Structure 1
Amino acid sequence: MDKEKKLFLSPTFSYSFALGLLAFLSLSSYFILKENIGSQVNSAAIVNLSGRQRMLSQRIALYSLRLINASEGRLRQQLRQEFEKIIQLMESSHVGLLNGSAAMNLPGVLSPEVQAMYFSSPLSLDKQIRQYIGEARSLLSASDHELTLENTHLGYIIQAASLKLIQSLDAVVRQYQKESERKIANLEALQFFVLLITLFVLFLTGVFLFQPMVKRIKEKTKQLQMEDAALLRLNEQLQNEIKERKELERQLRIVNEFDETLLKTLPFGIDIVDEECNLLYLNEKMERVFGKLAIGKKCYLLYKDDKQQCLNCPLKNGAQMGEAKQLEVPGAMQGRILLITHTPTLYQGKKAILEIFEDITDYKKAQAELVLSERLAVIGRMAGVIAHEFRNQLGVMRNAAYFLKMRIDTRDEKVIRHLEILDEQISETERIIENILDFSRTKEPQLQRVDALELLKAALDKVKIPEGIKVEMRIERLPPLEIDPLQFGIVFLNIILNSLQAMGNGGVLHIGGTKADNYVILIFKDSGEGISEEDKKRIFEPFFSTKSRGTGLGLATAKIIIEKHRGSINLESEYGKGTAVIIKLPIGSIRR
């Protein structure tokens, strides 16, 4: 018994030692490889960044000439901004190369050769670069009348960019490349040495461990022959296990059939694609949309409006089994937002991806509207407090102006006119404050049955129509609306004033109304200049205005009031052809 134990422990110790040594060599090889990769990454970053310095020096020279030759003030201002960015990029890259930067994968440790290139003659590259950047900044800060071809800063930049600086930058790039190649060569030599040792250990393992093991196997063969009877019993047991396995396969087929039925009946869109984005399967919901002929086509050609593969598509990097990923895809299926869950699976014996489509467009829209409403509430409370304080101060100013007007005994028309101007500006400021207060204290509607036509006429009566502007009202007989007349008086007044101001001194304001299904639709269409596409996206934001003296609260207040009445307000405009404001209000009770 002790002899068997000794025979067992001896090879076990030898095997353990050999495996431990092999593990140590493998780990050594791994860390050498890791260091090699890290070195290549850092070296690549250094070489790329130093090479980019050469490109940036040329771009500074190019932008210097473009800045000199620019004749239009707006273009010159744009060039100044871009020029500043290029200078800052070259300066930050230079500092990173000298001092290191984790964000740029730069170690900040310079070899003696590179340090000599930067700080010693004949190159003194650090001094050259700093002087070059200084000259560029001097040119950037020069006034427009100093930007001529005779400018000394321009002359230095052009000369340096074409001669000594570019040659020096080329030299340091070559030195960086040379040092990188030398370091990688040393690591590769060390890795080769580890490989030789590993092969030697394997040779010794084969000679001193595996040969004795072969001898022991031969001895055990005889013992195995004696155990043949036991194997026969095991064979019988195996036959029973095969029967059980066949039963399990039958049950698995039943489960697969259930899965197929489940895929057909789920309320989500489901497909299966291969690793090349080709469609392999569509459930009934997706098949009704795209048809059976969609099988074999690229999934993004069917789903994406721009026919391009999703930027973060899991198929690009390869999905791992058991790892589900979700991807939010805007601009799909005619402007919808889809949440796609990707789950790796096997389909017909091959790797595939199961995709489940959930339309979250309405959820995203509701989420955005909630954020906007919370933001409007905060802005409204703040604006109300500020406007209230300003109105108190304006009251004091109006009383002071009135007192001066009464007390000053003068026939100087200039003094009288300036007092009138002061009074007019106070009135204008009070109107702006009133708009802010209307926006900040919008309350729940006090509903009444109201004739929309009468309310529109009352709003028009409050407005002075400028000469050259004509108002045409064509409204069919409309049913009464259950709305707050005071709030909608503000809505109609703000929209009419915006339309009149948009037309300046000439044009026609068309006001129309009609009934469509269970809604009343009111349209205010002016013949002004219209609104640009960029401004249309922000037109309902508080304090956004296309007018130089507007508060930007008229349409924002109108939107809040209309939505509290379960209605909607939209704007259609084409720049240069006027604007139409469309209000849609429900007929009948809107009480919750």
Structure 2
Amino acid sequence: MVNENNKKDLIFIGLNIVVITLLHYFTTAAKWDIHDFYRRLYYIPIIVSAYKFRLKGGIFASLIVFLFYAPHMLIYFRDINMASLNQILEIVMFVVIGTITGFLAESDFKKKLMLRIQIKKITHLENYTQNILNSITNGLISVDRELKVKSINKEGKELFNLDERYLGKKLDKLFVECKKVEKDLIDILEENKKMLNIETKCKGKHGNTLDVKLLVYPLKNTTEKIEGLVLVIEDISEIKKLENQVRRADKLSAVGELASGVAHEIRNPLGIIKTISQTINEDIKDDNIEEEEIKEGMDIIIHEIDRANSVIKGLLDFAKPSVCQIKVQSIDKLLKDIVLITNKYAKQQNVRINYSCKEDKNILIDGEKLKQAFVNIIFNSVHAMQSGGNLNISLCIQKDWVKISFEDEGIGIPKDKLEKIFEPFYTTKDIGTGLGLSITHRIIEEHKGYINVESEVGKGTKLDIYIPDKNEKGDEKIEKDINCR
């Protein structure tokens, strides 16, 4: 099709040059004024050629005109005079006009070509970007500074059952807590910050409520000026359902383990009490029992009742609400008091407690509860060293944490059992309820700390307790942070 158009243009230009040239040759010299008119007609094919074929066309057409028109000058102008000089200058003008027009046409063609290339690139980039946005499995919405929707990807349209008619409208039809979300978005615009992993609720396409995770980023232009926001919306409804199911299953499992532990711990003393009671009762019937035997049996019953009571007391200590006594205390003094209290008991078991402090720190804590936690750890360590040994306790400061380490030379804990040592009623000892370390773990968590355990069978166990380095000046909200359950 292009070649056909070029052919028609060439025919038109060629016919124009031929017709104008014939008019010159078949018009007498006497009518020279008409020759001036004919000569100016040559500009038509020259300009058309320059427009159609650019620089090459303009130069080529002007040279053809020169070749066709030059013989006419030789025929009618034998002498060189002012008239012939004007004719020569006119021919030069043909070439100049053809060259200039062709150059301008060539320049305009290149600009249009570059413009078409740029438009093609921009269109391709826009389509590619849109394909990327539509391929994202999360809803993606962009809003301007007035929180009006500017664009929404395919997943977002399907998630909320929207179409192009929603563009330019606000977000009140999307979010259940619309006012709260809008307030957060305005804060992000004003403070130029990100908002990540905010969980909220949206209105689904079937009128249902969806649990979503919202990520918001400032939308900036090339000059770093904020023009709006980008909202990434992830549907986490199914994840929430699974989390609730897992949480429910964990609760049922915990209740089952707790019931099993309580039953196991209380059944043994109850069985002993029942056996002793039956024996005493039969002996009384047979009148075959002495006062000492009755007293011995009653002592056993009281001991077993105390044992069952200790299980119930430990369970209540683990579960009941406790009263916080938060104040700034020296952690070094607290540990020294604990060592003083437990040292006599440790010596009876041939265990030597070694305490070292690299740096003391006054922190905001509940001293009595931490004392209970540390005593539980010390007793566990002492029980683990049946043949005696050393229990090394150390205190140091690591950045924003106070680290208290308890390292014994006991029997150690197998790796497959390390994760269970903080579970209620789990114990590797022949005696005890298995609630000591559970209570310790809860107390450390209440202080926003954590416990790291390392153990090797036959060599010993090391517990590192990390408590945040908080004081009155460092954190005025520490009393709210410590969760007194």
The TM tier, using the shorter chain, reads: 0.3 to 0.5
What is the TM-score with the length of structure 1 in the denominator?
Answer: 0.33
Which has the larger share of strand? 2
| Rg larger for | 2
Question: What's the TM-score, normalizing by structure 2?
Answer: 0.40
